[in-house]
Chain A
Amino acid sequence: MEAMAALERDAQLMLRVREGDEISFALLLERHRGPVVNFLHRMVQNRAVSEELAQEVFLRVYRSRQTYEPTAKFTTWLFRIATHLALNSIRDRKKERSQESLSDELLDGVERQVADQQVSVEQAMVGDVKVQEIRQAIGTLPEKQRAAVLMHKYDGLDYGQIACSLGCSESAVKSLLFRAYETLRARLAHLA
């Protein structure tokens, strides 16, 4: 009982989910739905894809309930799954794009126009060019740097948690973050 009390609240909820308590799963979803969707949205920069991936994250959490052991912080586990899915999705999209042959220039042009239109509509809705520049600057960072910055800046994860999510050492995370912030300082200096 004492050990249970020492566990973080999310881990306690997850242990209840393991015992079949569906309300605890709803509470976990309520607490983490927003951060997970937003992390994924900032990673893949597409609302529909980010929600689809977030659904997959929570589906995997639910499916793993029987084998769940609170060995790490729940948030770390959640972001580990989310990062894994986001990186895979980005790589898949890259592959798809690279498979588009140069002979399909016409089709490629149409697709680009559609993508640009989508950005313009969103841009108009947001009404903020500054945010678009931030999105673009973060979007052009290498994938792992991007994930590290997003978890550090927007989700408040510490170096250890980010390291666990990315499957690398803490010193590697510090290095990733330092390089990413260095790039962003240069790219976004004019917005200061």
Chain B
Amino acid sequence: MNCIVKDKAGGEVLMDYCAGALDPARAAEFEGHIRECAECRELVDAQRSLWQTLGEWKPIEVSRDFDARLYARIAQADAEPWFYRMWKPVLSIAAVATAAAVMFAVRPAVRVEPPAGPAAQVEQINIQEVQQALDDLDLLSPASPNTRKPL
């Protein structure tokens, strides 16, 4: 066993030994080394002592209503329509893209006098379609009352 102070992998041996995670054969070998090496013995004592000190930070009790709050959140999440949950990210992107398309379509109409003729009709139809798509998206947002059984 090499000296943990000098060896590159010494840190791992030190941590594992003090955490009780070193396999018995290597632990015995290491114990043999620290009996002879004062520097390593000092380091092991310091790490052991730290390990023990850290152990004094005891775990906290979890709030009693933790599960109830969690299940309420799960029920709320489940109340969203399944297709909305599944397509939520896609719908978000689609909504942004649609909004951008609306902005693009509306801006020239405000600035420029709409030309008479078939071109103007095409533009009007597009805006209506976009508006319809936005209305459809709005319909997907509200959550319907959930009749699902609690977990």
Chain A positions near chain B (C-beta within 8 angstroms) = 22, 25-26, 29, 33-34, 37-38, 41-42, 47, 51, 54-55, 58-59, 62-63, 128, 130-131, 134-135, 138, 149, 152-154, 158, 174-175, 177-178, 181, 184-185, 188-189, 191-192
Which residue of A has the minimal Cβ distance to B45?
A: A192
Which B residue's beta carbon lies closest to that of A135?
Answer: B57
- Ordered by A's residue number, 21 sampled pairs between the chains whose C-beta atoms are within 8 Å are A22-B151, A33-B62, A33-B66, A34-B59, A34-B62, A38-B59, A51-B62, A51-B66, A55-B69, A134-B56, A135-B57, A138-B54, A138-B57, A149-B54, A153-B51, A177-B11, A177-B15, A185-B50, A189-B49, A192-B49, A192-B53
With a CB–CB cut-off of 8 A, which chain B residues contact A175?
11
Can you name the residue of chain B whose Cβ is closest to the Cβ of A34? Answer: B62
Q: Are A29 and B54 in contact (CB under 8 A)?
A: no
Report if B39 contacts A (CB, 8 A): no
How many chain-B residues does the 8 Å CB contact rule pick out?
28
Which secondary structure dominates chain A's binding surface? Answer: helix
Contacts of A63 in B (CB 8 A): 77
Contact of B53 (CB < 8 Å), options: A38, A42, A54, A134: A134
Which residues on B sit within 8 Å (CB–CB) of A128? 56
Main secondary structure on B side of the interface with A: helix
B66 lies within 8 A of A134 (CB): no
Q: Separation in Å of the B84 CB from the closest CB of chain A?
A: 13
List A contacts of B11 (CB < 8 A): 174-175, 177-178
Tell me if B60 is interfacial: C-beta within 8 Å of chain A: yes
User: Is residue B133 within 8 Å, beta carbon to beta carbon, of the partner chain?
Assistant: no
A62→B74 CA distance, assembly (Å):
8
- Closest residue of A by beta carbon distance from B60: A41
Inter-subunit contact B50/A174 (CB<8 Å):
no
